[in-house]
Amino acid sequence: MNPGMDIVFIKQLKLETIIGIHDWEREKQQPIILDIDIGCSIKSAAQSDQIEHCIDYFSVCERMKELAETHQYQLVESFAEEVSRIILQEFMAQWVRVKLNKPAAVNEASGVGVMIERHHD
């Protein structure tokens, strides 16, 4: 991330999806929790006070819900990578950090998962 870059954030977006490599994980949806930090400039939005000049976090959340409902991944890495691709390409972000937590995966842990950062090419 560049110094001085603004961040739009989404914390603990709770979704239900089919994800996992084990047969029991493929039988029913399970919870995942996303934290998404989106690097962008909010200067135009702040000056205009218009939604079309910023990254609309409501639209991002709706898009992530649609992804969870329509795709079935085996790996959390694959899901997180697709989230980052969508944010960078569809929402024109400069940078994104995605933390995907799978809270029901390991009984002894409150959550397991991945955190990735990607930059716009």
Q: What is the CA radius of gyration of the chain?
A: 15
- Give the Cα separation of 54 and 93 in Å (integer): 10
Q: Which residue has the tokens 């329509």?
A: 70
Asked if 102 is an active-site residue, the reply is: yes
The helix/strand/coil state of 81 is helix
CB 95 within 8 Å of CB 7: no
Active-site annotation holder among 14, 43, 99, 102: 102
Distance between CA atoms of residues 110 and 121, nearest Å: 34
Nearest to 13 by CA among 57, 84, 61, 80: 61
Q: Which residues are catalytic?
A: 102
